[in-house]
Amino acid sequence: MKALEEIERALAERREREREKARNYSSRKRREGHPHSPRTKAKLAQIAYERRRDEALADPDCHPLRRARVTFGGGGLSQVQLGERALVSARTIHAIESGEAEAAPMTARRLARALKATPAALGL
């Protein structure tokens, strides 16, 4: 009987320690937040993307390729995503959009096809 009471008391103490540990963890989790969780990363990326898209659309000097890229399909494409669709590197797309380079004829056709536009409409 005495041994049974000791076991029950030990189990109760253990459960209480686990509850306390869980309370401390959950309050710390809420207080500090999780800036690196996938959900938070996705939300921050979406906010940053929308801000850059709005800036690009408001800029009268925005390259037509960038304008088409950020408005494509309502949600837009990143340079990496467009590069994957057009089989062109993201660095090449960046160079074209920033005016560092001009698109080769084949690259212009690939980008236009990926964005469902003509090379002329993209300023290429």
Type of residue numbered 121: A
**pLDDT tens digits along 56-109:** 778 888 888 888 888 877 678 889 999 999 999 999 999 999 999 999 999 999
Contacts 24+ apart (CB under 8 A), 8-12: none
CB atoms within 10 A of CB 11: 10
Q: How many residues can be counted in the chain?
A: 124
Q: Give the closest residue to 7 by CA, choosing from 19, 15, 18.
A: 15
- The residue among 7 and 30 whose pLDDT is bigger is 7
The pTM score is: 0.59
